[in-house]
Structure 1
């Protein structure tokens, strides 16, 4: 009987330790960027998605500016404009595919029985 109580106390202390370690977790720590001198930062899903959207938007604006410059005769770089346009199109398509995957995952989670 005494051994059972000691075993139960051991299990309860382990559960308490795990609960405390889970409570202490606020954000995901990632490996340091080799260019940032070993600093470990916090990652936010919102920040990642916002940066990706801004990047896709800036590529689209750059492609638009290059195409306008070619159309108005300010530039003869048709190849560069077409490459920028294809990069922007590919980035947008990839972003839409990521969005579709995230939405499918969200729907799968919402359909899970509780």
Structure 2
């Protein structure tokens, strides 16, 4: 014999199951997770200064490698060119970030009140 499942029985079972879960959650004292107040994220200025320092160090490395090739101390021309390109790309990216920040600042300043 086949058991027929009616919509009323199924709904009653689901409601009872939900009520049991609600009671379990209330009894266990489950609270939503909270984030710690200080996660340790660096400030915007610290991140920006770090990026500028990184670009500066890339430019210094490229300059040292180029100087070594120019003075005949090294024959690693390809390494010097690669470092030069790395420094160039990093500098271009930094300029683009500066342009975006300047544009955002101008947009905020020109915002109607």
Question: With structure 2 as the length reference, what TM-score do the two structures score?
Answer: 0.65
Q: 1:74, CA displacement in angstroms?
A: 0.5
Specify the alignment match of 1:82 in structure 2. 81
**SS of corresponding position for 1:61:** helix
**SS of corresponding position for 2:84:** helix
Specify the alignment match of 2:21 in structure 1. none
**SS of corresponding position for 1:112:** coil
Specify the alignment match of 2:95 in structure 1. 96
* Structure 2 alignment gaps of length 5 or more: 1-36
Matched pairs, number: 77
Correspondence list, 1:1-114, <5 A: 40-114=39-113
Q: 1:113, CA displacement in angstroms?
A: 1.0
RCO (CA 8 Å, sep 6+): is it higher in 1 or 2? 2
Q: Which runs of 4+ in 1 moved over 4 A?
A: none
* Structure 1 alignment gaps of length 5 or more: 1-26, 30-39
**SS of corresponding position for 1:113:** coil
